[in-house]
Amino acid sequence: MTRTVLTVDGLHVSIGGNPVVDGVSFEVGEGEILGLVGESGCGKSMTAFAVMGLLPKAARMDEGRVLLGDLDLHALPEKQRRRLRGDDLAMIFQEPVASLNPLMTIGRQIAESLVVHQKAKGRDPRKAAIAMLEEVGIPEPEIRYDQYPFELSGGMCQRAMIAMALICQPRLLIADEPTTALDVTIQAQILELMKRLREETGTAILLITHDMGVVADMADRVAVMYAGRIIEQAPVDTIFARQEHPYTRLLLSTIPRLDGAPKTILPSIEGMVPDIGQWPVGCRFNPRCPLADAPCVEKQPPLTAREDLGLAACWHSDRVEAML
């Protein structure tokens, strides 16, 4: 039986009294990749920051538990949590240039993880960092080691951030849009490196992305998030074969298909994700949903078990497949 590495249970996060993450629960097992998907503004990154204990000053975790194995992360003193970050718990941030220290060379920032967490153990931190830079596809890694973030392109900074996250072989890796700034060749290389990490070390990965192609290739399970809540969750093959929430169905319909008719205009989801503090009553997707009727605007549907090991929160799950 696969051991659970990360448990998020009833997570609530607010900003200025307005909820941004509202009762989110999920688990990630050892060696498993969970894809967390949804449009910008759905609360994906804020969920990740809450797991890491890196919420912005304006945000507050109101309720819930975050467990790394059996360890309740938010019950630990901050000093102990800092020891875990970068070691057992690592994150690839969405904005690498803003996340790197502009006053330290790239190589020192990567090697620092090994030194601080005492994982060098006979390894030369400089050599290990250079090898890691080479692993993530950075050319001339010996030269890049001594360069500062402003001397590298955005894509190279992204790769350096990935190297920093992977060098200590964490138990849990949170990857927030890890390949956004990378070209297709390097993207494939980074995704393959993440796969190899989980196969060799059993690292659990929470993969946050907008790219459903990446999800199809990488994830074992998928959790779909909308307006602060998870509205559908299922094994990856199941969710691509059959969706039981209209939002998931519409998300997948926007992906270009190789077998589709040429010069076809791709469908889009009308409207926008509602701002925090302005979430509609009932199902939060109801203003944009083609299936919405009276029950949808009166009461929020619960996240209930599907027949195929998944979960869905929709009053009309039985009608979703015939939507498009």
**pLDDT at residue 32 in the model:** 96
Look-up of token digits 């790394």 = 68
Concatenated DSSP letters for 71-100? EEGGGS-HHHHHHHBTTTEEEE-S-HHHHS
Over its length of 324 residues, how does the chain's per-residue pLDDT go in tens digits?
579 999 999 999 999 999 999 999 999 999 999 999 999 899 999 999 999 999 999 999 999 999 999 999 999 999 999 889 988 999 998 877 788 999 999 999 999 888 887 666 667 889 999 999 998 889 999 999 999 999 998 888 888 988 998 888 899 999 998 887 677 887 888 888 888 888 888 999 999 998 888 899 999 999 999 999 999 999 999 999 999 999 999 998 887 776 767 777 777 888 999 998 899 999 999 999 999 999 999 999 999 998 777 899 999 998 988 876
Identity at 309, one-letter amino acid code: L
Q: Which two tokens stand for residue 215?
A: 């999800």
- Strands 221-226 and 204-209, by their bridges, are unpaired
Q: What is the pLDDT of residue 145?
A: 96
pLDDT of residue 57: 92
Facing residues of 4 across strands?
A: 29
pLDDT of 181 reads 66
Side-chain half-sphere exposure of 246, counting CA atoms within 13 A: 22
Q: What is the pLDDT of residue 119?
A: 64
The set of residues, in sequence order, having a beta carbon less than 8 Å from that of 259 and lying 6+ positions away, is none
The DSSP letter of residue 287 is G
Helix (H, G, I), strand (E, B) or coil at 44: helix
d(C-alpha 93, C-alpha 218), whole Å: 18
User: How many C-beta atoms surround the C-beta of residue 242 within 10 A?
Assistant: 17
Question: Tell me, what's the pLDDT at 122?
Answer: 64
pLDDT value, residue 200: 86
- Residue 230 pLDDT: 97
CA 245 to chain centre: 20
Can you give the pTM of this predicted structure? 0.91
Whole-number pLDDT of residue 211: 83
Its sign, for the CA torsion 51, 53, 59, 60, is: positive
Which pLDDT does position 133 carry in this prediction? 93
Is residue 51 within a helix (H) or strand (E), and if so which, with residue range? helix 44-52
Please give the DSSP secondary-structure letter assigned to residue 171: S
pLDDT for the residue 143: 95
Amino acid of residue 109: Q
How far is 298 from 174, CA to CA, in rounded Å? 36
DSSP-derived secondary structure letter, 291: T
CA-to-CA distance for 251 and 38, rounded, in angstroms? 8
Burial (CB count <10 Å: 0-12, 13-18, 19+), residue 129: buried
pLDDT at 229: 96
Output the pLDDT for position 205.
Answer: 95
Rounded distance between C-alpha atoms, residue 303 and residue 293, angstroms: 18
Rounded to whole angstroms, how far apart are CA atoms 40 and 177?
A: 11
Q: What is the DSSP string of 205-263?
A: EEEEES-HHHHHHH-SEEEEEETTEEEEEEEHHHHHH--SSHHHHHHHHTS--TTSPTT
d(Cα 28, Cα 30) in Å, to the nearest integer? 7
